[in-house]
Amino acid sequence: MIRQQTPRILRRAFSCVALLAVVSGQAGAQGSCSASVGSPCRVNVPSPNATAITNPRVIYLLSQSPSVVTWTVTQANLNAGISDAVAVTLVANSNRPWTLSVTGATTWTVSGGGNTAKAPADLRWALSAAVTGTAITTTSATLQSGIGGTTTLVIYFKTLLQFTSDRPGTYSMPIMFSLASP
């Protein structure tokens, strides 16, 4: 019985040595392994070869408003010299600090007999419906900044109106929102 078990023990030892040779060859510079017969072989992988993850910058802007925001001017708006506020809702998502800015076009697109000389600065933006707002320009204006995460923003637009020069017609202007992360 002892003779029959000895070859079996030798075969196990030889198998373990062969396994260690293969594991050692695969581990190479990553680590080394040594174990006695019947013990598991564990390889510690030292830095910089340890598992690593690269987390990229993630930043995006979603609009929860229609692509064309419209409103109708009333007699009361013309008398007041300003339209009612129209809200645009945006959601900024980022895993880094971010800045949201807005720019407008150099001119209004006018149809139906409207005033083709209407100043682009007549379009105003604000973070509150209660204020007149800031004139839109072709230079990027910062609306808001954040530290990261998900932020819902509501931007209000109003248009300054001139009873004598803003003739009936359709006025439109493309607006561009930019979300950037340093």
- Between CA 131 and CA 158 the distance in angstroms is 9
Position 25 confidence tier, pLDDT thresholds 50, 70, 90: very low
pLDDT in tens, 123-138: 999 999 999 999 999 9
Q: In a 3-state reduction of DSSP, which class is residue 147?
A: coil
Between 19 and 165, name the one with better pLDDT. 165
Q: Where are the domains of the chain?
A: 1-52, 59-180
Gap between the Cα atoms of 41 and 21, Å rounded? 11
Mean pLDDT of the chain: 79
What is the pTM assigned to this prediction? 0.69
* 13-17 long-range Cβ contacts below 8 angstroms, 24+ apart: 13/37, 16/41
The more confident residue out of 22 and 131 is 131
Q: Is the pLDDT of residue 63 over 70?
A: yes
What is the pLDDT, as a whole number, of residue 65? 77
Instruction: Give me the pLDDT at residue 45, please.
Output: 63
Average pLDDT over residues 25-31: 46
What tokens does 95 get?
């895993």
Ramachandran sector of residue 129 (left: φ over 0; alpha: ψ -120 to 50; beta: rest) = alpha
**CA 84, CA 126: separation in Å to the nearest integer?**
12
Right CATH for 59-180 from 1.10.8.870, 2.60.40.1090, 3.90.800.10, 3.30.70.270: 2.60.40.1090
